[in-house]
Structure 1
Amino acid sequence: MNKQRNALYIFSLTLIAAIGGLLFGYDTAVISGAEMSIQAYLIDGLGLGSLAHGATISSALIGCIIGGVISGFFASKFGRKKTLIFAAILFLVSALGSAFPEFLFFTKGEPSLALLLTFNFYRIIGGIGVGLASAITPMYIGEIAPADIRGKMVSFNQFMIIFGMLVVYFVNWGIARGQSIEWINDIGWRYMFASEALPALLFGLLLLFVPETPRYLAMQNKDEKALSVLTKINGSVKAKSILTEIKDTVRLADQAKKEKLFAYGKLVIVVGILLSVFQQFVGINVALYYAPRIFESMGAAKDASMLQTIVMGLVNVIFTVVAIYTVDKWGRKPLLITGSIGMALGMFGVAGLAFANIIGISTLVFIVIYTASFMMSWGPVCWVLISEIFPNKIRGQAVALAVAAQWAANYFISSTYPMMMEYSGGMTYGFYGLMSVLSAIFVWKWVPETKGKTLEQMETLWNKGFDTKNKVS
C-alpha cells in the first residue's frame, strides 16, 4: 500500500463524477412515479394503446442508445471531463422540458400527437445525458482510481445510481402523498420531472473543479498535467512509474491505430457486449420502471405502492454497499455468478406465483430477493468490468459499443414489458429467470477475472489470447 496515496482526493473526485451516476438513476427512475399520469394525459387522452404506452415510458432509452454510441467519440475528442459537463446540461434541459412540454408551443391540458412527440423529445435528450454519463462516469473513475481499489470506486458509481433512484422514489412519494389522483395527473407528475434540475445543476458546477483523467492527458501528450494528477492521487514515486506504463501503452496504440476496435481480437468485444446485454435481459429495469404499478397490482393504493417502492429502493442501496465492500475481495466472477443464481430464484418464484394467480406478500419477497441479488452483483460489477476489461487503446470505442448495446437491450426489454404482461405474466417473469441462468453460465465460461489488475495489464491479458479453459489468472 502506498502511504502517500491521497485517499480524500481520490474519493472527492469519485464522488463528484458519481453524481453522474446519481442523475443516471434519478432520470431513469423518475418515470416510475409519473408513468400512470403520462398514460392518463397523453396515451389514454389520445386513444392510444399499450404499444404507444411502452414506447413513451421507454423513450429515454432511445437517447441512452444515442448517448452510448457517441460517448466514445466525445470521450476521445473532448475528454472525459467536458463530456460529463455536456451530459449535465442535457439533464437540466430534459428535467425542465419533460415537466413542461407545452412550453411556448402547446396549451396545457390539451393532449395532441405533437405534444406527445415533444415530451418524448425531451425524454430522449435526458436519455442522451444518461447514455453519456453511464459510459463516461465509470471510465473517469476507472482511470482515476488505483488498481487495488478500482473495483470499489467504480462500484460506488452504482451505489450512486441506486441512491439516485431511492432519492427520486422518496421525492415522488412525497409529491404524491395525500394528494388526489386528479392533482397528481394534472400537476404532481410535473414536479417529479422538474425536481431533477437541482442535482443536474450541482453536477455541472462541481465538474468545473475536477481535473481531466491522467490517461486522457497522456494520450494528448500533456505529460506534465498527467503527472501532476497522478502525483496527487498516488504520490510522486508511484506516479512516475504509472505514467511510464501509460505512455508505453499510448505508444503502442499510436503504432497500431489502423487495427482499431478489433486490435485484440473479437472475443474481448463480444464479452463486453454480452455483459451489457445480460445485465438488461435479466429484467431489472422492468422492476425499476414499473415498480409502483407492480405493487399496485398486488392491491396497494397509489401512495402505498410508492412507499413499497421506497422499501425496495432501500434494499437496493444496502446490497449495493455489500458489492462495494466485496468486489475487490471476492472478485468479479464469484459475485456475478452468485447474483445470477439469486435472480433466477427470485424471478422463477414470481413467475410461479403469477401462474398460480397468487398476489401478495410472497410476491414482494421474491421481488426483493431478485433485486437484492442484482444489486450485489450485476448492477455494480457489470460497470466495473466494462470500465476495466478493455485495453487502453480501444477503451473509448469499446465502452461506447458495450454501453450502446446495453441501452438497446434495455429499450427492448422495457418497451415490450406491457405487451408481454398482457399475454402472460408468468411467462414474462419466467423469461427473465431463464436469462438469469444463462448469464451465470456465460460468466463461468467466458468472463476473465480482473481483480487487482492495472488497466495496462489488461492489454497483456488480451494480447496473449484469453484461454476460456483457464479463465481466472
Structure 2
Amino acid sequence: MNKPVNIGYVAFLSVVAALGGLLFGYDTAVISGTISQVTAQFHLDTIESGWYVGCALVGCILGVIVAGKLSDGIGRKWTMIIAAVFFTASGLGCALSETFNELIFWRIIGGAGIGIVSVVCPLYISEISPASHRGRLVSLYQLAITVGFLAAYLVNFYLLEHSATYTSSSALMQKIFGAEVWRGMLGFGALPAVVFLIVSFLLPESPRWLLVKKREGEASETFYKIYGSREEVAFQVNETKQMLLQSTQQQSSFKLLLQPGFRSAVWIGCAIAILGQFMGVNAVLYYGPSIFEASGLSSGDSLFYQSLIGVVNMVTTIIALLIIDKVGRKKLVYFGVSGMILSLVMIGIYFLYSKAWDLSATFLLVCFLAYIFFTAISISAVIFVFLSEMYPTKVRGQAMSIATLSLWIGTFLIGQLTPWMLETLEPSGTFFLFAFMCIPYMLIVWKLMPETAGKSLEEIERFWLKQKTKI
C-alpha cells in the first residue's frame, strides 16, 4: 500500500546526510594525487610513503569502532556533526602541517571521520526513509562517495595544472596553491566539510533513535514531517515501540546481538562486507592505473583513464539508485555479480593470451569499465543499504559498526595483498581469484538474505527474530 510521504523533506534530509559520503570519497581518493609530492617534500622512504597512504585507515578503523556506541548513545545527528568537525580539522590541518608527523596526525583524524560517516550516514538515512523509498535514498550515500572520488580526481588535476602559474600576494596562499600544491589538494576537502557541518545542525534526530530514548513526542513530530498524517505517525510509533518491547526481553545490547536470528544477521553482514572487497572492487580502483600502464596504455594520460572509471562508477550508481526499490536488492546482486564474474574472467584471459591472440590494451580497458559498471550497479549500490536496514533498532548502530569494521578490514587486507597477488599469482591468477570469490557472495545473498525492498525496518527485524538458523 502506498503511504503518504513528504518526499521533498525526506530527500533533503537524505542529501544532507549523504554529504558525509562525498567527504568519504574525496578524502579517500585525493591521496592519489599527492603521494609523489609529499614523498619529495619530506624525503620519505618506501615505508614512510606507505604509512602516509595507509595511516588514514588506522583512523577509519578507530572511527568505525566508536561510531556505533556514539550513534546509539548521543544520537545519529550529533555523531554526524562530530564527523564533520573531524573532516574540517583534517583538511585545514593537512594544508598547514609543518612536519610529516603533523600531516600523519591530521590524516588519521580525517580517517576517523571516514569511519564514522560510513556507519552513521547510511544508518540515519535508513531510519528516516519510508520503506518504499529507502533503497534509493540510502543509495544516495554511495552515489555521493562516487561524486567525491570524481571531485578529488578533478580537483587534483585542476590545482596541479594551475600551480605553476599561480600567484598571490599572500605567502601562505602561494605556498598552499603554488609551491606545495599538495597542501591545496588535501585542504580543499575542508570546504565541503564546513558545509556538511553547518547543514547537519538543520537535521532532526532520527525518530527511531528518539523512541529508543523514550522521547516519543519529538519522534512523533519528525514522523509527522515525513508522512504528514497523524494516523501514519501513530502506526510508525506503535510498530517501533512493539519491536523495542520485544528487544527489552534481553538484558543487554550484547545479549540481543547473540539471539540466533540477530547473530545470523551480524555474521551475514560481516561476510558480505568482507567478501565484497575480495571480489576486486578496491583492487581495481586502487591499482587500475598501474595495471593499465603495464598493459601498454602508458602513452595515454593516466588521469584520463582514472577519471573515466570515476565517471562510469558515478553514472552507473545513479542508474542503480533509480531502480533499486523497483527491481529489488537481490536481483541487482544476481545481475551485477554475474557480470562481474564474466568481466573478471575476461580480464584474466587478456593477461593470459593477449600476446598469443593479439588483444589490444583497449580490450582490457573495455573489460575494466564493464567490471566497474556491474560492480557499481550491484554490490557497491546495495552494501550500505543492506547493512543499514538489517539490524534491530535498539542496537542498529553497534551492529552496523561490527559489519562496517569487517568492510574496512577487508579493504586493508586487499590493499596489502593485491601487489603480492599480482606478483605471485600474476595478473591472470589474481583476477581469476577475484572471479571465484564472487560465488560465495552470491550464494549468501541467495540462500540467507531476505529481500528487503518495500519492507519496513520493523518487518525486517521480525524476519530475523523468526530465524532459527545457527551461523
Distance in 2, matches of 1:265 and 1:12, equals 32
Q: Show the counterpart of 1:112.
A: none
Distance in 2, matches of 1:372 and 1:23, equals 22
Distance in 2, matches of 1:415 and 1:17, equals 31
Kept in 1: contact 2:13–2:203 (CA 8 A): yes
Equivalences for residues 370-381 of structure 1 within 5 A: 370-381=371-382
After superposition, what is the alpha-carbon deviation per residue over 1:281-308, rounded to whole angstroms, capped at 9, x for unaligned?
Answer: 1121222234444444455569921122
Task: Name the SS of the counterpart of 2:16 in structure 1.
Answer: helix
Q: How many residues align?
A: 450
Q: Show the counterpart of 1:94.
A: 90
After superposition, what is the alpha-carbon deviation per residue over 1:62-121, rounded to whole angstroms, capped at 9, x for unaligned?
Answer: 22221111111000111000000000111112223333432xxx3xxxxxxxx2x44333
Distance in 2, matches of 1:260 and 1:253, equals 7
Q: Show the counterpart of 1:463.
A: 465
The change in CA–CA distance for 1:73 and 1:286 in structure 2 (over 3 A counts) is same
Q: Show the counterpart of 2:388.
A: 387
Kept in 1: contact 2:262–2:391 (CA 8 A): no
Residue 305 (1) aligns with residue 302 (2): yes
Kept in 2: contact 1:90–1:129 (CA 8 A): yes
Residue 176 (1) aligns with residue 160 (2): yes
Task: Name the SS of the counterpart of 1:146 in structure 2.
Answer: coil
Task: Name the SS of the counterpart of 2:116 in structure 1.
Answer: helix
Task: Name the SS of the counterpart of 1:248 in structure 2.
Answer: helix
Equivalences for residues 46-85 of structure 1 within 5 A: 46-48=44-46, 53-85=49-81
Q: Show the counterpart of 1:159.
A: 143
After superposition, what is the alpha-carbon deviation per residue over 1:256-301, rounded to whole angstroms, capped at 9, x for unaligned?
Answer: 2332321335211110101111221112122223444444445556
Distance in 2, matches of 1:252 and 1:189, equals 53
Q: Which moved more, 1:199-208 or 1:356-365?
A: 356-365
1:219 aligned to 200, 209, 212, which one?
Answer: 212
The change in CA–CA distance for 1:185 and 1:414 in structure 2 (over 3 A counts) is farther
Distance in 1, matches of 2:22 and 2:58, equals 20
Q: Show the counterpart of 1:416.
A: 417
Gaps of 5+ in 1: 107-114, 469-473
The change in CA–CA distance for 1:121 and 1:417 in structure 2 (over 3 A counts) is farther
Distance in 1, matches of 2:35 and 2:294, equals 15
1:447 aligned to 440, 446, 449, which one?
Answer: 449
Distance in 1, matches of 2:318 and 2:468, equals 31
The change in CA–CA distance for 1:438 and 1:53 in structure 2 (over 3 A counts) is farther
Distance in 1, matches of 2:45 and 2:212, equals 54
After superposition, what is the alpha-carbon deviation per residue over 1:301-344, rounded to whole angstroms, capped at 9, x for unaligned?
Answer: 69921122111111111111121122111111111122112222
1:275 aligned to 264, 272, 276, which one?
Answer: 272
Task: Tell me which amino acid in the other structure corresponds to 2:241.
Answer: K
Task: Tell me which amino acid in the other structure corresponds to 1:319.
Answer: T
The change in CA–CA distance for 1:265 and 1:209 in structure 2 (over 3 A counts) is closer
Distance in 1, matches of 2:195 and 2:92, equals 15
Distance in 2, matches of 1:431 and 1:53, equals 28
TM-score, length-scaled by structure 2: 0.89
Task: Tell me which amino acid in the other structure corresponds to 1:437.
Answer: I
Distance in 1, matches of 2:390 and 2:452, equals 7
Kept in 1: contact 2:72–2:395 (CA 8 A): no
Residue 354 (1) aligns with residue 351 (2): yes
Task: Tell me which amino acid in the other structure corresponds to 1:83.
Answer: T
Kept in 2: contact 1:157–1:380 (CA 8 A): no
Kept in 1: contact 2:209–2:393 (CA 8 A): no
Task: Tell me which amino acid in the other structure corresponds to 1:144.
Answer: I
State the 1:220 CA deviation. Answer: 1.1
Distance in 2, matches of 1:251 and 1:302, equals 64
Distance in 2, matches of 1:346 and 1:294, equals 15
Task: Tell me which amino acid in the other structure corresponds to 2:130.
Answer: P
Q: Show the counterpart of 1:17.
A: 17
TM-score, length-scaled by structure 1: 0.88
Gaps of 5+ in 2: 165-174
The change in CA–CA distance for 1:159 and 1:89 in structure 2 (over 3 A counts) is same
Distance in 2, matches of 1:421 and 1:35, equals 21
Give the % identical residues.
Answer: 35
Q: Which moved more, 1:421-430 or 1:222-231?
A: 421-430
After superposition, what is the alpha-carbon deviation per residue over 1:160-218, rounded to whole angstroms, capped at 9, x for unaligned?
Answer: 111111111211222233778xx999623222111101000100000011100100111
Distance in 2, matches of 1:61 and 1:215, equals 31
Kept in 1: contact 2:136–2:322 (CA 8 A): yes
Q: Which moved more, 1:256-265 or 1:443-452?
A: 256-265
Residue 332 (1) aligns with residue 329 (2): yes
Task: Name the SS of the counterpart of 2:248 in structure 1.
Answer: helix
Equivalences for residues 223-262 of structure 1 within 5 A: 223-235=216-228, 236-258=230-252, 259-262=255-258
Residue 6 (1) aligns with residue 9 (2): no
Kept in 2: contact 1:26–1:161 (CA 8 A): yes
